[in-house]
Amino acid sequence: MSSASSVTEPAAGQPATPLAAISCDIFCAVIDNFGDIGVCWRLARQLADEHGWQVRVFVDDLHAFQKLCPSLALDRARQTIGAIVVEHWHEPSHAGDTVEVADVVIEAFACELPSIYVAAMAQCERTPVWLNLEYLSAEDWVADFHLRPSPHPRYPLTKTFFFPGLGPGTGGVLKERQLDAARAAFEASPDARQAWWLNATGQPPPPAEVTVISLFAYENLAVDSLLEQWRDSATPVVLLVPEGRISGAIARFFGLPSFAAGSHATLGSLSAHALAFTEQPGYDALLWASDVNFVRGEDSFVRAQWAAKPFIWHIYPQADDAHLPKLDAALAHYARSLPDDTRAALARFWHAWNGAGRPDWTEFQRHYPALKLRAAEWAGELTQVGDLAGNLALFAKTQLK
């Protein structure tokens, strides 16, 4: 791994010297389409850009990664994007052409490090900080397990569990330092909004009376009902749909063979635009340009909270409905200060979008003013938990000896 120019390159199997910038390896196995690499890539860029770390990302699916990072080459075993080294990881035994152990080793979402890499970690003169970055959960138990150590059964190594979360005592969620300023600048600039709309849809921004909705979701049985309600709405609705797993349902509703990027369709009060899949910074602008955001998985769920707009979460479905307690835990945090009727309406809508009932758009609209106020208030509350990258960097520094 490359090191700062003022220090010598660390020997294979050894972490960088204390004078070097902190080196970090992030291992990511892509399971949930873009969610896993989305979180890892955002974390990698933030550790490099804001904390000056030398970051290397091991990822096993370059095709999924390229959707978020178009400059990524699919045929290269090792490449540098910005200041970050990207290794095409052939798990489970692969650890690069030579085993170079970083100061901080992040095992994302229990993906399991290569055995050769773990053995090399055990040989290091200065023990690396080994973190298991877990999936985000708002459940109460997360604070109890955050930073809990797990000694290795054979080596003198300890892995520490690092849990993202929405409440105190957790690792928080990712947020770049300049994000609030960027959002405020976008919202305050008619020129920026105009440019975004023209680039994304080929059309100028709609009038103020139009409800703009972004729709990023897994396949969803409730989507036809919502599309019908938007079609029959008393006020116009503009739907912005990033190309993806929900695109087939949109195409069927409009009677089209497909709904690929650049497509546009109108029925009744509903107009829909299919958007090209965008790199991460572009997705934030989509959230800012919308009045309501439908999001899925982990990364877009977090970005919707920072967008400070009402949102609906399509949580990643698990067997035996194991995901539903996580959905309710997030609602408990997010909706806790809402009036009882608004909180109940939001819960009904979230549950319906996640398979339990029929979403009622008219009811949701009736509570929109309160939901809009709460969205802005919640973004401020979540900031108090701390940024995940900053929390992780601070913890790692206390552990490096």
pLDDT of residue 321: 67
Q: Contact at 8 Å (CB) between 370 and 338?
A: yes
Same-domain check for residues 345 and 225: yes
The CATH number of the domain where 336 resides is what?
A: 3.40.50.2000
**Range of 202's domain?**
179-383
200's tokens: 């994304």
139 is catalytic: no
Same-domain check for residues 143 and 221: no
- Domain assignment present for residue 6? The answer is no
Q: Which of 25, 100, 139, 298 is catalytic?
A: 298
What predicted TM-score, i.e. pTM, was given to this entire model? Answer: 0.90
Q: Which of 36, 87, 100, 103 is catalytic?
A: 36
Residue 391: HSE in the Cβ half-sphere, 13 Å Cα cutoff: 22
pLDDT of residue 96: 66
Same-domain check for residues 147 and 122: yes
Same-domain check for residues 371 and 394: no
CA distance 166 to 66: 29
Say how many domains are in the chain: 2
298 is catalytic: yes
pLDDT tens string, the chain, 401 residues long: the values are 433 323 333 444 454 444 578 999 999 988 766 778 889 999 999 999 999 999 999 999 898 898 888 899 999 999 999 999 999 998 667 676 667 899 999 999 988 899 999 999 999 999 999 999 999 999 999 999 999 999 999 999 999 999 999 999 999 999 999 999 999 999 999 999 999 999 999 999 999 999 999 999 999 999 999 999 999 999 999 999 999 899 999 999 999 999 999 999 999 999 999 999 888 888 999 999 999 999 998 899 999 999 999 999 998 777 776 778 899 999 999 999 999 999 999 999 999 999 888 999 999 999 999 999 999 999 999 999 999 999 999 999 999 97
Cα-based angle 60, 111, 305 (whole degrees, multiple of 5): 90
